[in-house]
Each structure stands twice: as structure tokens, then as C-alpha cells.
Amino acid sequence: MKRFRVLYVLKNFPQMSETYIKTEIEAVKEYCDIRIVSTKPANLPAQKHEPYHQVTELSAVREIIEDFRPDVLHSHWLHSVKILGKLSRQTGVPFTVRAHSFDSIWPEPYSVAGRFPFLGAFRNPSHIRRALNLINGELCLGVLILPFARSRLERAGIRADKLVDCYPVVNYRLFHNEAPNGEAIMNVGACIPKKKMDDFLELAAAAPGLQFDLYALGYRVEELRARAKSCDCPVNFKPPLELEDMPAAYKQHRWLVYTASPQGNVGWPLSLAEAQASGVGVCMANIRSDLSEYVGAAGFLYNSLDEAREIVAQPFPEEMRQIGFEHAKKSDVFAHRALLFERWGKVDASLPRVSEETKICRI
């Protein structure tokens, strides 16, 4: 049987912090022949990754399409729809895209009246305005979205039938480990303002008897490290780890405290599902009501650092730990990759179809 052919058109590949792309590719390639192009280099590249072509011109991507003859084009982030749509219209190859949080969250209504007073109206962000006609057109087979974003994207004008609810992309089989965990407290992610990692420093200072480990990636790490040193904050700054090394890191910890700013566009962090699959208790800033669905009964949402300190000072309840192993399966890409295959199946019906178990992950 002829294997399905998928061309990934990406930016920043293979960025270490974008493990969801690497994980999705690993799941997809079991059934598909893939080729990857990256239109912008990574500034913190992962060492282990699939082969890819670094290109800068759209014409170079078209040449790869002519050579590879893909059945579908695929990418991540709604910001990528513009280039996908251009390529799709020029070549006739349909496309799909997986949206995330930063591209699906914006203040509503989004006003440009401050910068353009003569407009005096509310409009969608520019990346949504550019994407609307392309997504709603015939060549777009669908957009995988985080469930909480559906209502906002529909209000923005995207057709409901183009949207496919899907939990975050996690390699559950890599992280699932029910052996005992260590005692330390961790935080992980890109060191950018919306992650509000200063709160992790403050939490560590308020609980000197506990061990706090910060796995912060790039960007403002050195600035944060200097701030911790200036206030003698007892946080261990850990070096960036490859995806394959993270399961061992999780097992050294009892709690994951995920700090976040309510003014940012933090969505459903995949590290929460990775932690739950690893037996780690999750405790995240309560920045939005939809997070209760994602955390489920296997974790906590805190409203203040005092509340977070009280939570992580205690052992993680074993009954919640057991719930976490099961809850994390909702983010297992090897189960919900079928949601992609279902959309691609509009082109090739030989791909695996969505099972009843996978449908549960969509709601």
C-alpha cells in the first residue's frame, strides 16, 4: 500500500522548546512518509531531530513540493496559514495546521482604536485576518485547536466545521512511569514574561526548607539567574534538556509549579500532562477558568503564592497521582494523531480512522 506523503512547512525547526512538533512528527511517521522544510533557523536547536531542509524562499519550497509530491501540507500555528495558503493555491496541494495557545488567545474584543482612532472599531488580530479566507476555503482540510479556543475562533469568523478539538501533543509512552518520585519542586519552560518565572523565585524564597529546580529555556534566563543571585533565592537553575532526557528529570520531583501571567497567552502547557504521566503533582496559576478541564481532578490551580506554598509543602495525594496517570492519556499524540489522519483521510481513505477512545479526547 502506498504510504501517505506529508510535507511539514515549519519555522524555527528544530527548536528545543517546541517539542510538540518533534513529538507529532514521531507519531505521524509511523504511517506516513514525511519531509520537513524550515523557513527560519532555530535559535536554540535540539540535537536530536528528523532531517530537514533549511530554506528561505517560497520558490525553494515549491521545488521541494514538485520533487516530493506530497498529499498534504502541514504546519503549526495560525501564523503559518499565510505561507501554507500561498503554497496550496500555487500547487493545488491541500493543507492542515495545528493551532496552539499564543496564536488563539487575544483580548476580546481586540481593539485597534487606540492606534488607529479613525477606525473606531473592533477587529481580529492581523494573523487571524490574513488566515480567515484561507482556512474557510476548499484547500484547507482543517485546523486542530485546543478545546478552550473554539468559541473565540468561531467568533473570529472561522467556520465551525474547519475546527477540530484536540488536547496538547504529548508522547505519553515516553513519560508514563508509575515508579516512586523524588521530593523536589520544579518549573519548566521558555523563560519569557508570560511564564512569570519570577513567581517561582518568590515561592522558593518563602519555602526555604524545600528544593526548587528551574528548567528554564533561553531568552531571559541569565536575567532571571542574576535576579535570583541578588536576592539570595534558593533556586537551582538546571541546564536545558533534550526531550528524551526530560522523563528522568520529572521523576526527581514531587511537584510541578507552573507559573503564568493572567495578562499573557499561556494556554494548556504540555508539561502538565508530561508531569501527570510521570507521577508528578501539578500546581498551576489559576489564570483562566478552562484550565480546570485540563488539570482535571489530578492537580491544583492556585490563586496566590501563599496558596501554592501550602499545596507543595504537602505530599501529593496518592489518589490524585493515580488519576493523573489516566488523565494525561487525553494528551497522548499516539491516540489523537487519528484526528489528523481523519482530516487527511479526505484525501486518502487508507489512513487509520478515529477510534471511540480517541473521540473522548476531543471533548
Which tens digit of pLDDT belongs to each residue from 125-173? Answer: 999 999 999 999 999 999 999 999 999 999 999 999 999 999 999 999 9
Which phi and psi angles does 86 have, rounded to 5°? -60, -50
Which tens digit of pLDDT belongs to each residue from 75-114? Answer: 999 999 999 999 999 999 999 999 999 999 998 765 454 4
Which tens digit of pLDDT belongs to each residue from 299-323? Answer: 999 999 999 999 999 999 999 999 9
Q: Are residues 189 and 321 in the same domain?
A: yes
Q: Are residues 76 and 159 in the same domain?
A: yes
The C-alpha cell at 361 is 479526547
Q: Are residues 248 and 325 in the same domain?
A: yes
Q: Are residues 88 and 107 in the same domain?
A: yes
* C-alpha of 270 from chain center: 6
Q: Are residues 211 and 304 in the same domain?
A: yes
Q: Are residues 240 and 338 in the same domain?
A: no
Contacts of 75 (CB under 8 A, 6+ apart): 8, 9, 10, 81, 83, 84, 95, 97, 98
Q: Are residues 161 and 178 in the same domain?
A: no
Q: Are residues 184 and 314 in the same domain?
A: yes
Q: Are residues 164 and 184 in the same domain?
A: no
Q: What is the CATH number of the domain that holds 138?
A: 3.40.50.2000
Q: Are residues 149 and 11 in the same domain?
A: yes
Q: What gap in Å lies between CA 57 and CA 348, rounded to an integer? A: 29
How many domains does the chain divide into?
A: 2
Q: Are residues 352 and 241 in the same domain?
A: no
Q: Are residues 237 and 302 in the same domain?
A: yes
What is the residue range of 223's domain? 172-329
